[in-house]
């Protein structure tokens, strides 16, 4: 009995046993550590799979002027490498450190295209050298065919923009600033023969010294619709400056001829015959050969301070057509993208989207608010749900364009992206069906983007940073600035060769390091770095309510009073 009592007593004591307090603390600490580690791992996994990012939430604490100076430094490196290795040449090959020409005596391709960026960045010594070259070397009386569109947007646009900025920026002016307008008039007069077709649609090319339009050697002699419809800002501004309405009327007639085709839902096929003025294909796309036609609808309306409402009417019709026929969603992520219609309206969609299409988010936003901030536009009596939907579409497409960068190994976008999409979502008129919502998951984004080897190159294109700049100015959301900074850093890391050589386009955005193409595009200086510089600049520097950018990022003023009215109306 005594032994049994001892056992029972011990058992009762064990039921009331309490561990020492330090062991309790140890167990509690272990639980906290496990929970903290689990949280950190979950946060790490989430942030790694988050394509949006968090840094923009600290946008108010970022020194944006320092970032702007980084962009300026990249421009200086690029320019000085060109100056040292290829001065006066139209092309610069940074790997081989040499230049090449596009015509017997050169067209000033890089110099003229870069003038206004040099002015904005206040690089006065480099501007003086460029102006001197224009006065002494630039000669358009050459035995050379040139592309009507490219010469208009890059060279005529660059000269006109330089002329305008000399009136706005104190350090850009000079006793010899008249050279810009004089050269612009000379060039425009040599381009006018391109418009001498039976319909008024310009020929694809023009011979400079022979003063003769030259039909395209391909595409059945048709002109690109985008190219024909992207000459108007430049020619109208030249008429405004000179008082000569010839330039205005020639370019304006193109819009009448295109409109007279009565394209369904405002979506124009990509080729037009310059003699008949009729479309010669059914294919519709907002990438190459289609893109800037739509851009200049909005910008012609803005350029003349809303005095030509026909262009806003055409844009609103086209935007509804884009929503109805071209916007669809990717399979896993729900990302909205702009598809193509190889067979025209009524045919199946092709899940292909050029990087060129990334001008569209910014265009939609500036078309909705006319360059004003979103907060201001929302106070207007006429602001409605339709406008809100347009802003949301701009945001959605901006996310997809950012995705082109976010999913690659280098953080640089390919020239063309393809998408995984359900067959149902590639049937005609996707806008008539409910579209899936977007998942902000990098893993799902990567499953949806297809980058083919022939499309994997990066040409230093500006369209995404252009839209980031516009969306930042309009929405004031620092997310767009932060995405721009990440893109700039990707260019810095993967396209800069050396201080002596500068920057290059690359062949494969999914190879690290990416193979160089040995070419620096002129729009790297004229557009990409300019838009990045403006993205990080104060918002009152070139307000979107006071200027309009042409499709090469050249800067024209919004014209208050113009003495010419629209010379046509829609039939």
Helix (H, G, I), strand (E, B) or coil at 379: coil
d(CA 149, CA 201) in angstroms, rounded, equals 12
Question: β-strands 555-557, 547-549: how paired?
Answer: antiparallel
Helix (H, G, I), strand (E, B) or coil at 87: coil
**What value, to the nearest 5°, has the Cα angle with vertex 144 and ends 139 and 150?**
85
**Strand stretches in 29-95, DSSP E:** 91-93
The active-site residue out of 227, 340, 415, 552 is 415
Angle between helices 360-369 and 463-475 (to 10 degrees): 30
Half-sphere exposure of 558 toward its Cβ, with a 13 Å CA cutoff? 18
d(CA 241, CA 371) in angstroms, rounded, equals 23
Question: β-strands 416-419, 352-354: how paired?
Answer: antiparallel
415 included as an active-site residue: yes
Chain center to CA of 517: 21
d(CA 555, CA 189) in angstroms, rounded, equals 21
d(CA 256, CA 268) in angstroms, rounded, equals 13
d(CA 57, CA 60) in angstroms, rounded, equals 8
Within 419-506, residue ranges assigned H as helices are 442-448, 463-475, 478-495
Catalytic positions, written as ranges: 415
């Amino acid at each position: 009995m005594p032994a049994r009592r001892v056992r029972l007593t011990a058992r009762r004591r064990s039921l009331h046993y309490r561990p020492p307090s330090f062991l309790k603390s140890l167990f509690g600490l272990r639980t906290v550590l496990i929970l903290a580690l689990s949280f950190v791992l979950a946060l790490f996994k989430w942030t790694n799979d988050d394509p949006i990012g968090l840094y923009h939430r600290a946008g108010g604490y970022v020194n944006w002027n320092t970032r702007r100076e980084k962009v300026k430094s990249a421009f200086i490196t690029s320019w000085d490498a060109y100056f040292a290795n290829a001065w006066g040449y139209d092309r610069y090959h940074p790997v081989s450190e040499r230049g090449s020409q596009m015509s017997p005596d050169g067209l000033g391709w890089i110099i003229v295209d870069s003038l206004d960026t040099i002015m904005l960045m206040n690089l006065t010594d480099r501007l003086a050298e460029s102006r001197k070259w224009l006065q002494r070397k630039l000669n358009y009386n050459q035995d050379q065919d040139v592309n009507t569109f490219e010469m208009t947007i890059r060279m005529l646009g660059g000269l006109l923009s330089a002329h305008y900025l000399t009136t706005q920026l104190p350090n850009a002016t000079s006793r010899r600033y008249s050279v810009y307008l004089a050269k612009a008039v000379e060039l425009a007069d040599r381009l006018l023969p391109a418009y001498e077709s039976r319909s008024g649609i310009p020929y694809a090319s023009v011979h400079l010294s022979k003063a003769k339009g030259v039909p395209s050697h391909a595409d059945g002699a048709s002109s690109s619709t985008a190219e024909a419809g992207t000459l108007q800002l430049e020619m109208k501004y030249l008429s405004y400056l000179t008082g000569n309405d010839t330039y205005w009327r020639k370019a304006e007639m193109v819009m009448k001829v295109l409109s007279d085709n009565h394209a369904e839902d405002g979506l124009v096929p990509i080729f037009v015959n310059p003699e008949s003025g009729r479309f010669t294909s059914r294919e519709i796309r907002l990438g190459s050969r289609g893109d800037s036609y739509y851009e200049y609808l909005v910008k012609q309306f803005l350029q003349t301070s809303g005095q030509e409402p026909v262009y806003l009417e055409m844009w609103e019709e086209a935007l509804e057509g884009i929503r109805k026929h071209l916007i669809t969603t990717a399979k896993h992520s729900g990302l909205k993208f702009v598809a193509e219609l190889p067979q025209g309206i009524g045919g199946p969609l092709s899940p292909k989207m050029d990087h060129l299409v990334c001008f569209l988010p910014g265009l939609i936003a500036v078309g909705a608010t006319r360059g004003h901030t979103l907060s201001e536009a929302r106070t207007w009596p006429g602001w409605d749900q339709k406008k809100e939907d347009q802003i949301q579409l701009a945001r959605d497409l901006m996310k997809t364009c950012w995705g082109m960068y976010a999913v690659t190994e280098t953080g640089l976008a390919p020239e063309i992206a393809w998408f995984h999409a359900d067959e149902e979502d590639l049937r005609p008129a996707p806008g008539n069906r409910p579209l899936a919502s977007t998942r902000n998951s990098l893993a799902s984004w990567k499953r949806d983007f297809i980058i083919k080897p022939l499309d994997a190159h990066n040409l230093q294109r500006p369209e995404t940073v252009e839209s980031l700049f516009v969306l930042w100015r309009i929405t004031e959301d620092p997310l767009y600035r932060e995405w721009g900074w990440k893109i700039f850093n990707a260019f810095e890391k993967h396209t800069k060769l050396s201080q002596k050589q500068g920057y290059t386009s690359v062949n494969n955005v999914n190879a690290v390091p990416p193979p160089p193409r040995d070419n620096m595009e002129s729009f790297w200086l004229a557009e990409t770095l300019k838009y990045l510089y403006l993205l990080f600049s104060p918002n009152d520097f070139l307000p979107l309510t006071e200027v309009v950018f042409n499709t090469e990022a050249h800067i024209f003023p919004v014209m208050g009073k113009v003495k010419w009215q629209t010379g046509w109306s829609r039939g």
